[in-house]
Amino acid sequence: MSTLIEVRGVTKAFRQGDLEVHALRGVDLEVGTGEFTSLAGPSGSDKTTLLNLLGALDHPTAGTVRLAGNDVSHLGRGDAAEFRLRHVGFIFQAYNLVPVLSAFENAEFTLLLRGVGAPERRAVVEPLLERVGLGEMMKRRPHELSGGQQQRVAVVRALATRPSIVLADEPTANLDSATSEGLLELMAEFNTDLGTTFLFSSHDPVVLEHARRVVWLRDGLVEGDERDPEPAAA
Protein backbone atom coordinates (compact mmCIF):
# COMPACT_ATOMS: atom_id res chain seq x y z
CA MET A 1 0.00 0.00 0.00
CA SER A 2 1.48 3.34 -1.05
CA THR A 3 1.47 6.35 1.27
CA LEU A 4 -1.19 8.90 0.32
CA ILE A 5 -0.98 11.25 3.33
CA GLU A 6 2.16 12.10 5.23
CA VAL A 7 1.98 14.46 8.21
CA ARG A 8 5.20 15.33 10.03
CA GLY A 9 5.53 17.40 13.20
CA VAL A 10 2.37 19.39 12.52
CA THR A 11 1.30 22.03 15.01
CA LYS A 12 -1.56 24.48 14.71
CA ALA A 13 -1.95 27.51 16.95
CA PHE A 14 -4.74 30.09 17.07
CA ARG A 15 -4.77 33.54 18.60
CA GLN A 16 -7.41 34.18 21.25
CA GLY A 17 -6.85 37.76 22.31
CA ASP A 18 -3.36 37.92 23.79
CA LEU A 19 -3.16 34.14 24.12
CA GLU A 20 -1.81 31.59 21.64
CA VAL A 21 -3.80 28.37 21.89
CA HIS A 22 -2.27 25.22 20.43
CA ALA A 23 -4.85 22.96 18.79
CA LEU A 24 -2.36 20.45 17.36
CA ARG A 25 0.95 19.84 19.14
CA GLY A 26 3.26 17.93 16.83
CA VAL A 27 1.17 15.36 14.97
CA ASP A 28 2.77 12.61 12.89
CA LEU A 29 0.48 10.53 10.71
CA GLU A 30 0.54 8.40 7.57
CA VAL A 31 -2.49 7.17 5.64
CA GLY A 32 -2.16 4.70 2.80
CA THR A 33 -4.00 4.61 -0.50
CA GLY A 34 -7.28 2.74 -0.19
CA GLU A 35 -7.67 3.06 3.59
CA PHE A 36 -11.05 3.51 5.30
CA THR A 37 -9.93 5.41 8.37
CA SER A 38 -11.47 7.62 11.03
CA LEU A 39 -9.94 10.29 13.22
CA ALA A 40 -11.63 9.94 16.60
CA GLY A 41 -11.56 11.59 19.98
CA PRO A 42 -13.62 13.73 22.34
CA SER A 43 -14.95 17.14 21.40
CA GLY A 44 -12.07 19.58 21.43
CA SER A 45 -9.50 17.03 20.24
CA ASP A 46 -9.24 19.03 16.98
CA LYS A 47 -10.14 16.28 14.56
CA THR A 48 -11.66 18.85 12.23
CA THR A 49 -8.58 21.07 12.50
CA LEU A 50 -6.40 18.23 11.24
CA LEU A 51 -8.86 17.36 8.48
CA ASN A 52 -8.83 21.00 7.32
CA LEU A 53 -5.05 20.94 7.09
CA LEU A 54 -5.12 17.72 5.07
CA GLY A 55 -7.62 19.25 2.65
CA ALA A 56 -5.58 22.46 2.21
CA LEU A 57 -8.39 24.49 3.79
CA ASP A 58 -5.92 25.85 6.35
CA HIS A 59 -2.17 26.02 6.96
CA PRO A 60 -0.20 24.45 9.80
CA THR A 61 1.74 26.75 12.11
CA ALA A 62 4.70 24.37 11.80
CA GLY A 63 5.42 21.00 10.21
CA THR A 64 4.56 19.58 6.80
CA VAL A 65 1.47 18.04 5.22
CA ARG A 66 1.84 16.02 2.02
CA LEU A 67 -1.07 14.56 0.10
CA ALA A 68 -0.73 12.53 -3.09
CA GLY A 69 2.93 13.53 -3.28
CA ASN A 70 2.17 17.26 -3.00
CA ASP A 71 3.29 19.51 -0.15
CA VAL A 72 0.06 21.34 0.72
CA SER A 73 1.36 22.95 3.91
CA HIS A 74 1.44 26.53 2.64
CA LEU A 75 -0.32 26.70 -0.70
CA GLY A 76 -1.70 30.07 -1.72
CA ARG A 77 -5.47 30.44 -2.01
CA GLY A 78 -5.64 29.83 -5.75
CA ASP A 79 -3.24 26.88 -5.73
CA ALA A 80 -5.06 25.36 -2.75
CA ALA A 81 -8.42 25.64 -4.52
CA GLU A 82 -6.99 24.02 -7.65
CA PHE A 83 -5.41 21.25 -5.59
CA ARG A 84 -8.70 20.50 -3.82
CA LEU A 85 -10.56 20.45 -7.11
CA ARG A 86 -8.12 17.93 -8.56
CA HIS A 87 -7.40 15.69 -5.60
CA VAL A 88 -9.92 15.99 -2.73
CA GLY A 89 -13.60 15.20 -2.29
CA PHE A 90 -15.37 16.67 0.73
CA ILE A 91 -18.39 15.47 2.70
CA PHE A 92 -19.58 17.91 5.37
CA GLN A 93 -21.77 17.55 8.44
CA ALA A 94 -24.24 20.13 7.08
CA TYR A 95 -24.27 18.63 3.54
CA ASN A 96 -23.34 22.01 1.94
CA LEU A 97 -25.63 21.57 -1.05
CA VAL A 98 -26.62 24.60 -3.14
CA PRO A 99 -30.32 25.20 -2.34
CA VAL A 100 -31.34 26.36 -5.83
CA LEU A 101 -29.73 23.41 -7.63
CA SER A 102 -31.26 19.98 -8.17
CA ALA A 103 -29.72 16.81 -6.78
CA PHE A 104 -28.16 16.15 -10.18
CA GLU A 105 -26.82 19.70 -10.50
CA ASN A 106 -25.32 19.57 -7.02
CA ALA A 107 -23.72 16.19 -7.73
CA GLU A 108 -22.16 17.36 -11.02
CA PHE A 109 -20.93 20.69 -9.63
CA THR A 110 -17.26 19.80 -9.15
CA LEU A 111 -17.13 18.27 -12.63
CA LEU A 112 -18.58 21.50 -14.00
CA LEU A 113 -15.84 23.47 -12.21
CA ARG A 114 -13.27 21.21 -13.86
CA GLY A 115 -14.65 22.06 -17.30
CA VAL A 116 -16.06 18.59 -18.02
CA GLY A 117 -18.66 18.67 -20.79
CA ALA A 118 -22.35 18.01 -20.18
CA PRO A 119 -22.52 14.52 -21.78
CA GLU A 120 -19.48 13.38 -19.79
CA ARG A 121 -20.91 14.82 -16.57
CA ARG A 122 -24.17 12.99 -17.10
CA ALA A 123 -22.38 9.73 -17.88
CA VAL A 124 -20.55 9.94 -14.53
CA VAL A 125 -23.24 11.37 -12.24
CA GLU A 126 -26.40 9.52 -13.29
CA PRO A 127 -25.03 6.01 -12.57
CA LEU A 128 -23.71 7.17 -9.18
CA LEU A 129 -27.06 8.70 -8.22
CA GLU A 130 -28.76 5.48 -9.34
CA ARG A 131 -26.38 3.48 -7.20
CA VAL A 132 -27.14 5.51 -4.07
CA GLY A 133 -30.89 5.11 -4.61
CA LEU A 134 -31.64 8.58 -5.95
CA GLY A 135 -32.32 7.73 -9.58
CA GLU A 136 -35.92 8.96 -9.33
CA MET A 137 -34.99 12.08 -7.37
CA MET A 138 -32.36 13.70 -9.58
CA LYS A 139 -34.51 16.78 -10.27
CA ARG A 140 -35.42 17.40 -6.63
CA ARG A 141 -33.87 20.31 -4.78
CA PRO A 142 -32.31 19.86 -1.33
CA HIS A 143 -35.42 20.99 0.58
CA GLU A 144 -37.34 18.18 -1.11
CA LEU A 145 -34.90 15.53 0.16
CA SER A 146 -34.42 13.99 3.60
CA GLY A 147 -31.16 14.52 5.48
CA GLY A 148 -29.93 11.09 4.48
CA GLN A 149 -30.78 11.71 0.84
CA GLN A 150 -28.98 15.06 0.89
CA GLN A 151 -25.89 13.39 2.34
CA ARG A 152 -26.02 10.78 -0.43
CA VAL A 153 -25.99 13.58 -2.99
CA ALA A 154 -22.94 14.96 -1.16
CA VAL A 155 -21.26 11.55 -1.38
CA VAL A 156 -21.83 11.44 -5.15
CA ARG A 157 -20.51 14.99 -5.51
CA ALA A 158 -17.38 14.00 -3.58
CA LEU A 159 -16.82 10.89 -5.69
CA ALA A 160 -17.68 12.29 -9.11
CA THR A 161 -14.16 13.53 -9.88
CA ARG A 162 -12.57 10.26 -8.69
CA PRO A 163 -10.46 12.15 -6.13
CA SER A 164 -7.30 10.86 -4.46
CA ILE A 165 -9.16 10.97 -1.13
CA VAL A 166 -12.56 11.79 0.34
CA LEU A 167 -12.42 13.77 3.60
CA ALA A 168 -15.64 13.42 5.58
CA ASP A 169 -16.15 15.73 8.57
CA GLU A 170 -18.74 14.27 10.97
CA PRO A 171 -20.79 13.00 7.99
CA THR A 172 -23.41 11.23 10.15
CA ALA A 173 -23.85 13.89 12.84
CA ASN A 174 -27.30 14.99 11.60
CA LEU A 175 -28.58 11.52 10.74
CA ASP A 176 -30.40 8.84 12.72
CA SER A 177 -28.60 5.58 13.44
CA ALA A 178 -30.30 3.54 10.72
CA THR A 179 -29.58 6.17 8.05
CA SER A 180 -25.99 6.48 9.31
CA GLU A 181 -25.54 2.72 9.04
CA GLY A 182 -26.77 2.69 5.45
CA LEU A 183 -24.57 5.63 4.49
CA LEU A 184 -21.45 4.04 5.99
CA GLU A 185 -22.16 0.75 4.22
CA LEU A 186 -22.52 2.66 0.96
CA MET A 187 -19.20 4.47 1.41
CA ALA A 188 -17.52 1.19 2.36
CA GLU A 189 -18.77 -0.26 -0.93
CA PHE A 190 -17.26 2.63 -2.87
CA ASN A 191 -14.02 2.16 -0.94
CA THR A 192 -13.92 -1.51 -1.92
CA ASP A 193 -15.23 -1.25 -5.48
CA LEU A 194 -13.49 1.96 -6.60
CA GLY A 195 -10.48 1.88 -4.29
CA THR A 196 -11.37 5.36 -3.02
CA THR A 197 -9.55 6.39 0.15
CA PHE A 198 -11.83 7.72 2.91
CA LEU A 199 -10.73 9.64 5.99
CA PHE A 200 -13.43 10.56 8.49
CA SER A 201 -13.51 12.90 11.44
CA SER A 202 -16.05 11.50 13.86
CA HIS A 203 -16.90 10.31 17.35
CA ASP A 204 -20.04 8.52 16.10
CA PRO A 205 -19.88 4.84 17.17
CA VAL A 206 -21.44 3.83 13.84
CA VAL A 207 -18.53 5.40 11.95
CA LEU A 208 -15.95 3.88 14.28
CA GLU A 209 -17.49 0.42 13.92
CA HIS A 210 -17.19 0.59 10.13
CA ALA A 211 -13.73 2.13 9.98
CA ARG A 212 -10.94 -0.34 9.38
CA ARG A 213 -8.51 1.95 11.19
CA VAL A 214 -9.15 4.44 13.99
CA VAL A 215 -6.60 7.14 14.89
CA TRP A 216 -7.33 8.58 18.33
CA LEU A 217 -6.60 12.23 19.06
CA ARG A 218 -6.55 13.91 22.46
CA ASP A 219 -5.28 17.35 23.42
CA GLY A 220 -3.83 17.88 19.96
CA LEU A 221 -1.76 14.68 19.89
CA VAL A 222 -2.16 11.20 18.42
CA GLU A 223 -3.04 9.06 21.43
CA GLY A 224 -3.64 5.71 19.73
CA ASP A 225 -3.83 3.94 16.39
CA GLU A 226 -6.04 0.87 16.02
CA ARG A 227 -6.25 -1.25 12.88
CA ASP A 228 -8.37 -4.22 11.99
CA PRO A 229 -6.22 -7.36 12.08
CA GLU A 230 -5.04 -8.64 8.73
CA PRO A 231 -6.95 -11.75 7.59
CA ALA A 232 -5.10 -14.97 8.28
CA ALA A 233 -3.31 -16.54 5.34
CA ALA A 234 -5.14 -19.45 3.75
Phi and psi angles of residue 185, each rounded to the nearest 5 degrees, phi first: -65, -40
- 233 in a domain, yes or no? no
Q: How far apart are the first and last CA of the chain?
A: 20
- 27 in a domain, yes or no? yes
Query: Can you say how many angstroms the Cα of residue 63 is from the centroid of all Cα atoms in its chain?
Result: 22
Number of domains in the chain: 1
Full domain range(s) for residue 51: 3-227
- 234 in a domain, yes or no? no
CATH number for 184: 3.40.50.300
- Which helix (H) or strand (E) segment is 158 a member of? helix 147-159
User: From first to last of its 234 residues, what are the pLDDT tens digits of the chain?
Assistant: 799 999 999 999 988 888 888 899 999 999 999 999 999 988 777 899 999 999 999 999 999 999 999 999 999 999 999 999 999 999 998 899 999 999 999 999 999 999 999 999 999 999 999 999 999 999 999 999 999 999 999 999 999 999 999 999 999 988 999 999 999 999 999 999 999 999 999 989 999 999 999 999 998 899 999 988 664 444
Do 28 and 8 contact (CB within 8 A), yes or no? yes
